[in-house]
Structure 1
Amino acid sequence: MINKKNSLQALQNGQRTPEAVKLIIKICQKIPPLPSSILELLQKLANPESSVRDIGQIIERDQALSAMILKQVNSAYYGLPRKVYSLRQAVALLGINEIRHLALRLSLRKTLLSEEDLFLHALKVATLSELRSGEIDPSLAYTAGLLHDIGKLVLKITFKESYQRLRGQGLWGPALQQAERELFHLDHAEAGGLLAEFWQLPPVLVEAIKNHHLSQEGVAGLVRETDEALNTGQLSDAGQKIISQIEQDQ
């Protein structure tokens, strides 16, 4: 488990921490964490020995999450032939991976609230990362893609209009990171890594969030490549079809 105190000490590490970074740290502590069931779900996801039964039981214990999932499953989006009354029925009809993805999407959407454009981009990167996962666990790839830009929420909450103006310039990748560091002494990937540590996400997800613009390998490297392909429009026909479908469904 990640030690928050040690994480902050490593960040400051003998040098005076800029006031902006101190403010970001304070904001991270105040942002409501993901539901405990989702945090447990992410821990299970990072463990290759976890079973389908383990994952199903976690979701079933969270009544609010189960109710949200059932409401979504019974919506016109899925078009199921009959009404679904239990999570086990939903799992049987949709499969555990779809249920897990739905749980994560619902939880993240609740966290992002009005940040619809940020959520939509995250959903695209998550879906494409899963498609391109190769030897990486597809569900882990999906989760990392869904959470990779969570640091933008931290910066928006912390700096409000200043960050909105910066985002309005249409920057992405290294150009955006450089501008963020110049203005706020921390970029969104680093801010997201801090928030992931406060939420006590599995280390593999913390690393993917923190290094999704830098890494050349692993889960973080997959998210970087997917994010770049999406931002530059360099997608395969299959990838473009998926993106079009996501845009239509939202």
Structure 2
Amino acid sequence: MTELAPIEIDPRTFLREHFALPALPEVVSKIQNLIEGGDADMANVAELVSAEPALAAQVLKVANSAYYGLSREMTAVKFAIAFLGLNEIYRMVVSLSVVNTLAIDEKDELKRFWFHSFYAALCTKYLAKRYEPHLSFEELWSASILHDIGKLVYLKFFPDHYKALQLFCNKEGRLFAEAERHYSLPSSGFLGTLLCDHWRLPDHIRRACECHTLKDLLDIDKEDSSARFRRMICLGNLLTVLSANELNNDTKQEIASAVRSTLDCGEPEFMTMMGDIYELRVEVERFTDQFH
């Protein structure tokens, strides 16, 4: 492949003057204003979401997914709000609107994104229930769903670079972050944080974009209690990659070693955990097939 052109990004103008993006849909700001003003109730939020049929259908698919494990199927947005709450529906609307507004045309790549993101969300919740039960599962969902949003920024604005990065990963069995370093390109995490800043997304989503790679996990101080959220995001992402991607043996060992060290778990516990995570794949495939 021919040599890739360097990418130079000025954070002050990227996504504003160069490679401009539209604003998020009005439904996002309207719900946010209702919640912040104390005027939100189930009826008016349901009306706002239901006025966007495609978005409403996506919200119901997420609400009925394995992540929430509801005992009955939600057939209307108002029922989903009643069961999950206004704030959680707002987080869903934000996450879905971010991906929708990027307007990615490559359907296979978009499906790849949703598969990885939903798998990471399920893995992160699984880990948090075992190791960090006091974390907000609601914030973990939106953070897990959007932690890799920088890859879609790559795909939209630098498609040749994105394809080269994916090709490197596929040929070498290595991680996307390694491919970025190999080509001396900006990290997708950096692009994700710029997107978060541009659209003023919640801080927990920005933190997930900024910190989810193997290097990020290794850089986290195990004794730092304030890093528990970032640690779970990293672990959920890495275990998803380990279970779903074609990796070389060295990369597999690096991830497994880092996970075991972080969780302070032995080989039997780790293998049991991986077995549980492999079983989640059935739900991920079902969700991804329904979503597109």
In the superposition, relative to structure 1, how do residues 67 and 149 fare at CA in structure 2: closer, same or farther (>3 Å)?
closer
User: 2 CA distance for matches of 1:43 and 1:220?
Assistant: 28
Once the two structures are TM-superposed, the CA of residue 125 in structure 1 deviates from its matched residue by: 0.9
- The CA deviation at 1:182 is 4.9
> Compared with structure 1, are the counterparts of its residues 44 and 28 closer, same or farther at alpha carbon in structure 2 (3 Å cutoff)?
farther
Normalising by structure 2, what TM-score? Answer: 0.60
Partner of 2:115: 120
| Counterpart in the other structure of 1:69 | 56
- Spell out the pairing of 1:103-114 with structure 2 (5 A cutoff): 103=93, 106-110=96-100, 111=102, 113=104, 114=107
Matching of residue 22 in structure 1 with residue 14 in structure 2? no
**Residue identity in the other structure for 1:225:** L
- Matched residue of 2:165: which SS? helix
Q: What do the CA deviations read for 1:54-95 (whole angstroms, capped 9, x no partner)?
A: 687545434544663258749xx78x99995x5323434x54
Secondary structure (helix, strand or coil) at the match of 1:170 reads helix
8 Å Cα contact 2:25-2:97 kept in structure 1? yes
- Report the CA distance shift for 1:39/1:135 in structure 2 as closer, same or farther (over 3 A): farther
Which runs of 5 or more residues in structure 1 are unaligned?
Answer: 1-17
Deviation at 1:173, TM superposition (A): 11
How many Å separate the matches in 1 of 2:175 and 2:239? 16
Q: Residue 129 of structure 1 corresponds to which residue in structure 2? A: 124
Shift in CA distance, 28/173, structure 1 to aligned 2, threshold 3 Å: farther
Matches within 5 A, 1:46-195: 57-58=44-45, 60-65=47-52, 68-69=55-56, 73=60, 84=75, 87-92=77-82, 95-96=84-85, 99=89, 103=93, 106-110=96-100, 111=102, 113=104, 114=107, 115-133=110-128, 134-170=133-169, 175-183=175-183, 185-195=185-195
TM-score normalized with structure 1 length: 0.68
Contact 2:169 2:179 in 1 (8 A): no
Letter paired with 1:124: Y
Runs (5+) with no aligned partner, structure 2: 66-70, 221-226, 244-269
Shift of 1:101: 6.7
C-alpha distance in 1 between matches for 2:158 and 2:126: 35
Provide the residue aligned with 1:244 in structure 2. 282
Distance 1:243 1:35, change over 3 A: farther
Amino acid aligned to 2:240: L
CA RMSD of aligned residues (A): 4.2
Q: In the alignment, which residue of structure 2 is the partner of 1:221? A: 231
Which sits farther off after the overlay, 65-74 or 134-143?
65-74
Q: 1:131, CA displacement in angstroms?
A: 3.0
Find the aligned partners of 1:43 and 1:126 in 2 and give their Cα distance: 27
- Superposed CA deviations along residues 180-222 of structure 1, whole A, max 9, x for unmatched, are 2453541111111111111111223212211222153232221
CA contact (8 A) 1:69 1:102 kept: no
The residue type paired with residue 146 of structure 1 is I
CA shift at 1:226, angstroms? 0.8
In 1, are the aligned partners of 2:154 and 2:188 still within 8 Å (CA)?
A: yes
Secondary structure at the aligned position of 1:209 is classed as helix
Task: Give, as a single letter, the amino acid of the residue that structure 2 aligns with 1:183.
Answer: Y
State the AA in 2 paired with 1:227: N
Deviates more, 1:116-125 or 1:165-174: 165-174
The alignment of Structure 1 onto Structure 2 pairs a total of residues equal to 225
8 A contact 1:151–1:188 mirrored in 2: yes
CA-CA distance at 1:141 after TM superposition: 0.5
Residue identity in the other structure for 1:130: K
Structure 1 distance, partners of 2:207, 2:74, is 41
Higher relative contact order (CA 8 A, sep 6+): 1
Matching residue's letter, 1:116? K
